[in-house]
Amino acid sequence: MPGMGKVNAATVAANCGKSFPSIKLALVVGICGIVPFGPAKDESILGDVIISNGVIQYDFGRRRPEDFIRKDTLLDVLGRPNLEIRGVLAKLKALRYRRRLTAKIEGYLKILQQDQDLCAEYPGTTEDRLFEASYRHADDQRSCEQVGCNGELVSRSRLSTIDVPLRPAIHFGLIASGDTVMQSGEDRDRLASTEDVIAFEMEGAGVWDSFPCIIIKGGCDYADSHKSKVWQRYAAATAAACAKAFLDFWTPSVTQVIPQQAGENATTKLRTHYLPLSRNKNFTGRERAIAELQNLLFTDPNGQRVALVGLGGVGKTQIALQLAHLVKKEDKVECNYSVIWIPALSMASFEQACSKMISKFGIEQTNGENPKETFKRFLSSEKAGKWFLIIDNADHIDTLYGTAEAPGGIDEFIPDCEHGYILYTTRSREVAVSVAQNNVVKLSEMDDEDAKALLQSSLIEKDQMQDTALIDKLLHKLAYLPLAITQASAYMKVNEISVNEYLRLLQNNEQDMVELLSCGFRDSTHCDPSQGAVATTWIVSFKQIRAIHEDAATILSTMAYLEPKAIPRALLPPLGSEQKMTRAIGTLCGYSFLSKREDGETFDMHSLVHLATQRWNQEDRLETGIRQMAFRHIAEVFPYDDWDKRETRTVPIQQTDANLDIGLADACCLTDGLEEVSVSGEPDGLETDD
């Protein structure tokens, strides 16, 4: 700008509007005077950054002999920010995003400070002095040091550490804008009290009504008479760093695309999609998970590779599919992605999908080139444009990275380039961390509201939802698992039974429940038939665990004969070393089969996984051996001569048809009577404690 003030700012804004008619956002960046204690008594210090959520012209009004009256009617005040700006500000005010913004500001500030010519170093806490509002500077032409200002200083808790560079804080609020320099601590506090402003500056009001606008200013003084230039360069640097960081979170809408000049190279590639799965019309809820994935993938500069991890059947594929279709139908230029869906069940399925994608995109293959190599070569090229790749069911780390016997996995053919964004879905936390490092989103079961909405959308007879008690029982029995809910509604539709009848089957006995959980369904939103049934999809995971981690499989099988909640670590079968035990438990937690409580020594097992594990043991003919091993270990943990505690302690042994707690004395005797355990779980000749 040619100078300070609203007129100069308005002139620049008008000229910019003529030269660039499609401006969607104007950032007014610079320095300001700050209010040391805001409306909420938040402490502001020099170098902090102020972001506007509104502007007032505090010098716009009527000057009378005895006072000044500001014009504040609806037609006189500046408008509030538009919906887009209010949306991004609301997001940045949230603690999580505020922390991200602060971290980005620190990073960009360090980059600026590497340029010594900018002189943007932190001046030090001893230079940050706040005098009482009533204490005035004696001579405007000389500094406080020259004049000898020695008034009482206001203490601030943030300045307790001497001369250590402090992290610039971010403050959102109203900014007072005018053509006068605020040099009065008393007037500052009065306006802050009556108008709820947190800073004073001189340009924002001139731009505010010309463009959608945000003011970002660094605090260089306290808007009092004790002005100093010591903080100006540092404050300008913090504001500049904040402006760049802010743009990392800003995704403007585009309402018009300016036609290109003849002969100009096109910058937007024609999009093509390979998305073999249909959109799930019954998809509901999960807004928070989708929003988090969108932010990590398309807003966070470090989030080009993201992993969605969770228990089989928890809805990872359906969320990824919903996001894929959202991106596919997006018509904004900056969101112009080709969407590609590739399953990672095996190297064969990956190669088959690559071949189909190459055909759909019309990509030429060189002589003898493998489809996987063509896939990577094309996506790595600028010709591909921006693309969004979903790698679904990346559950097996050997399939991704290969083995010593069969080197080379899927990851070898996944390009790493600036114009590509990748979402992995996986049941394995080990895989998630390997492919996405810190960008891992863990998916849990549905909440009550989303689960009810999913069930209602899946049922034919919607009036059944009116029996809330019955619906609550069903959802609790299905553990709020999306696949189990969808599977149940499909079973009810095929067999023409009601919710009440289905619930009765679930509650009949465990065998019926396991059989119901094994009854799959087919639809166009699953790549693999095993994904249509909860029990089936978990048995696939069980087999993977047995193949890669026998110790984890042993623990999982053993836990099928213990109560699924509050399992002490001492009851898990010994593995020979603490390292083996830690790794085995980590594997099971990574697949979400177990969850660790805060004490680190107690575990919970998913109730439906508990049932599926019993069936797995039966199918693999491991039931008798595993059960005997579990009972022997319990007898070792609770020795026979511990009779004095039998009235207060029980052993949580899971029964096949009844959940009974066996007394300590009975558990100890199991080593002698393992072959004589009856259906109720009691050794012959023994009685359980009441």
pLDDT average, residue stretch 7-13: 82
Q: Is the dihedral of CA 49, 55, 60, 64 positive or negative?
A: negative
Question: What pLDDT does 656 receive?
Answer: 42
pLDDT in tens, 501-544: 888 877 776 666 666 766 655 554 555 544 546 666 666 677 77
Q: Which of 155-169, 208-222, 378-392 has the lowest mean pLDDT?
A: 155-169
Q: Which two tokens mark 368?
A: 């003898």
Higher pLDDT, 233 or 83: 233
Question: What pLDDT does 389 receive?
Answer: 94
Collapsing DSSP to helix, strand or coil, 180 comes out as: coil
Residue 142 φ then ψ, to 5°:
-130, 155
Name the percent of the chain lying above pLDDT 70: 80
Of the CA atoms within 13 Å of residue 218, those in its CB half-sphere come to: 26
Most confident of 59-63, 69-73, 339-343, 626-630: 339-343
CB neighbours of residue 84 within 10 Å: 15
Over the range 276-301, which residues count as b (16 or more CB within 10 Å of their CB) and which as e?
ebeebebbbbbeebbeebbbbbbbbe
Collapsing DSSP to helix, strand or coil, 596 comes out as: strand
For helices 468-477 and 448-458, give the axis angle rounded to 10 degrees.
100
Rounded CA gap, 513 and 45, in Å?
63
Question: What pLDDT does 539 receive?
Answer: 65
If you search the block for the tokens 């390009």, which residue do you land on?
A: 415
Model confidence at 666, in pLDDT bands (50, 70, 90)? very low
Rounded CA gap, 487 and 513, in Å?
12
Rounded CA gap, 227 and 175, in Å?
19
pLDDT in tens, 238-269: 999 999 999 988 876 544 444 444 333 333 45
Question: What pLDDT does 674 receive?
Answer: 40
Q: Which two tokens mark 397?
A: 């780390």
Cβ–Cβ under 8 Å, residues 147 and 202: no
Rounded CA gap, 370 and 528, in Å?
24
Question: What pLDDT does 646 receive?
Answer: 45
Question: What pLDDT does 266 receive?
Answer: 39
- DSSP letter at 602? E
Strand order in the sheet with 440-442: 338-343, 387-392, 420-426, 305-309, 440-442
pLDDT average, residue stretch 311-323: 88
CB neighbours of residue 413 within 10 Å: 21
Residues in contact with 6: Cβ distance below 8 Å, sequence separation at least 6, in sequence order:
57, 177, 178, 179, 202, 203, 205, 206
Distance of CA 646 to the CA centre of its chain: 47
Model confidence at 92, in pLDDT bands (50, 70, 90)? very high
Query: How would you class 6 by CB atoms within 10 Å of its CB: exposed for 0-12, middle for 13-18, buried for 19 or more?
Result: buried
Residues in contact with 602: Cβ distance below 8 Å, sequence separation at least 6, in sequence order:
566, 567, 568, 569, 596
Question: What pLDDT does 246 receive?
Answer: 94
Rounded CA gap, 516 and 483, in Å?
12
CB neighbours of residue 70 within 10 Å: 16
Name the percent of the chain lying above pLDDT 90: 19
Model confidence at 218, in pLDDT bands (50, 70, 90)? very high
Strands 213-221 and 49-57: antiparallel
Task: For the chain, give the mean pLDDT.
Answer: 79
